[in-house]
Structure 1
Amino acid sequence: MTARLAAWLARGATLALLAVLLARPAWLQPLLAPFAENGAPAIYDRASLLDLTLAHLATVAVSSALGTAIAVAAGIAVTRPAGAAFLPVARSVVNIGQTFPPVAVLALAVPAVGFGLKPVLIALVLYGLLPVFESTLAGLDDVPRDVVDAARGMGMSGWQQLTSVELPLALPVILNGVRLAAVINLGTATIGSTVAARGLGDVIIAGLQTANTAFVLQGGVIVGLLAVVVSDWIGVVGAVLVARVGGRPPVGGD
């Protein structure tokens, strides 16, 4: 009970600090003023921090959704008998996506699709494939073979086995990969400001350009708090989903 109370207090404190940073940043001016030198403003006021945060979250949500769809589909495909031969190729592709610097992806994507949101989405989708792909493989591989055999013995088709048995049982592991990919993308999305995509990178880059550490701290702290909140939210939603699908019999039945 004490641990649960501590967790809820930590969540409340995180949300409260995030709310102050976004809605009432002036309240924190005394804390940030020492980091703004030569009379520079301590509070970022070139745009609404709330608007930038919402734009940042929208970019992460879209890229994470696209990356999850691609990675889960690829993971399913290479775990089927017909696609098993493509596993090394698929793994190499997602590994390249993770190891290739997002800045380099932006540099290659901008000439093809222009400035703005599109090159950022390409970079984030590629960067977020690996955690979801590997968690999909691990989750499906951990499904007990006797359960799959029982489903097959009951006359289930391959699609029914996948959707009614394998994916529900693999869901907790897959969600861990989705959570990791979303947190990675939250931090990586800050580079989008270098190609004119709106987000919290605007605050950080403005601070770097003007040597204003106060701006850098504001952007960095907001991104860090968002990572905590989003990770926690995905965990809560995931627990609800797992409880629902886990409530069904693993093989057939109502």
Structure 2
Amino acid sequence: MKSNTLNRKNPLLSIHSFLMMAFIYIPVIVIIVYSFNDSRLSMSWEGFTFDWYLSLLDNRNVMEALKNSLIIALTSTIVSTVLGTMAAIAMRKLMSKSKGAIAGLLYMPIVVPDIIMGLSLLVLFSQLGLDLGKTTVIIAHITFSISYVYVIVSSRMANMGNQLEEAASDLGATQWETFRYVVLPSIWPGVIAGALIAFTLSIDDFLISFFVAGPNSSTLPIYIYSSVKRGISPEINALCTIMILVSVALIILAQWLLNRGNREEKKTSMLPF
């Protein structure tokens, strides 16, 4: 009787979930809808148009911010993916008592508020005498992206056994050959998913970039923030819509890769050997 009562849907919980989803997604839907508004005034609807998306291509400031964002995101993604994957592999083999403390340090960039991280990096760069620009933004993005790559790759490696690595070692494979032919094929969904998440975080980051960016290294989020202070235009809505769609697509792709890797691992574990 109690089991049936617990399994019965509570209408209040359903209403609460619906209101929460509406609170989160209605503003996003409004931005997307008004990016197709034929009026320059965001508060009045005068028809459907794609002109604001086309005008973005003629906006030199947007193209410059897009170029900066892509350079920063691609560079930080490559470096953070390599370092995060190496950290996950090293932590898996580490048998020291300080393993928990080291893992806690790797989780810190995820837990620390962005404003604290941005301010601390700004102080560090000023103490080192580094001029603010693309280089400092890339270093900052690598700093917080490594943690996300480490978490995703570590979760992927948590389900790996040591049997295949030990078998490869017994057959005379070197550590590099074992990594290339045994470990990497097993963890590649996590590595690619981590890279996609790192790229998405870098493209979308505003707060940390705002602290460490120089005058000629404005990214798309910084450009949107500076433009909104002068008023919200349909061009900004169009730019936000593109960023939303790209971010959602990358997150869905990362989740699909992780799910596919988990399915392949389950099939492998069911083989009779």
TM-score interval for Structure 1 and Structure 2 normalised by the shorter chain: 0.5 to 0.7
User: How far off its partner does 1:84 sit?
Assistant: 4.8
Question: More deviation in 106-115 or 131-140?
Answer: 106-115
| 2:63 counterpart residue number | 50
- Kindly provide the amino acid, as one letter, of the partner of residue 225 in structure 1: L
Report the alpha carbon displacement of residue 171 of structure 1 after superposing the two structures with TM: 1.1
What CA distance in whole angstroms lies between the structure 2 residues aligned with 1:47 and 1:32?
22
Please name the residue that 2:84 is paired with.
71
Per the alignment, residue 206 of structure 1 pairs with: 226
Query: How big is each residue's C-alpha offset from its partner over 1:26-79, in whole Å with a ceiling of 9 and x where there is no partner?
Result: xx7744512289xxxx87787342332122111111111121122111111122
Answer whether contact 2:204 2:221 (CA < 8 A) is retained: no
1:171 and 2:188 matched: yes
Range that drifts further, 195-204 or 210-219: 210-219
* Bigger-Rg structure (1/2): 2
- What is the identity percentage for the equivalent residue pairs of Structure 1 and Structure 2? 14
Matching residue's letter, 2:115? V
Aligned residue runs from structure 1 range 133-152, under 5 A: 133-152=150-169
TM-score, with normalisation over the residues of structure 2? 0.62
Asked whether the 8 Å contact 1:94–1:126 carries over to 2, the reply is no
TM superposition score normalised by structure 1? 0.66
Secondary structure, counterpart of 2:88 in structure 1: helix
Q: Hey, what's the Cα distance between the residues in 2 that align with 1:103 and 1:215?
A: 28
Taking a change above 3 Å as real, the CA distance of residues 102 and 190 of structure 1, as seen in their structure-2 partners, is: closer
Q: What is the letter of the counterpart of residue 223 of structure 1? A: M
Most deviating of 70-79 and 149-158: 149-158
1:23 counterpart residue number = none
Deviation at 1:121, TM superposition (A): 2.0
Aligned to 2:4: none
**One-letter identity of the residue aligned with 1:227:** S
CA RMSD of aligned residues (A): 3.5
C-alpha separation in 1, matches of 2:245 and 2:42? 20
Give how far 1:150 is off.
1.9
> 130-139 or 219-228: which moved more?
219-228
Counting helix residues as a fraction of each chain, which structure ranks higher?
1
Residue 163 to residue 221, structure 1, CA distance change in 2 (3 Å): same
Corresponding residue to 1:101 among 106, 109, 113: 113
Give the Å deviation of 1:231. Answer: 5.3
CA–CA distance in structure 1, aligned partners of residues 177 and 66 of structure 2:
41
Among 193, 198, 217, the alignment partner of 2:237 is: 217
Structure 1: state its 5+ residue gaps: 1-27, 243-254
| Distance (Å, rounded) in 2 between the aligned partners of 1:190 and 1:107 | 10
Name the CA shift for 1:131/1:202 in 2 (closer, same or farther; >3 Å). Answer: closer
- Kept in 1: contact 2:205–2:221 (CA 8 A): no
Q: Secondary structure at the match of 2:41?
A: helix
The residue identity in structure 1 corresponding to 2:164 is: V
Amino acid across the alignment from 2:111:
T
CA deviations 1:126-161 (Å, max 9, x no partner) are 221222112222333323333223212212233332
**CA displacement, residues 181-209 of structure 1 (integer Å, 9 cap, x when unaligned):** 22122211575356332221243122332
Structure 2 residue 202 is the aligned partner of structure 1 residue 185: yes
- What is the aligned length? 209
Contact 1:203 1:215 in 2 (8 A): no
Question: How much has 1:164 moved relative to structure 2?
Answer: 1.8
The amino acid that maps onto 1:142 is N
SS of residue paired to 1:34: coil
Q: Which amino acid letter does the alignment assign opposite residue 146 of structure 2?
A: L
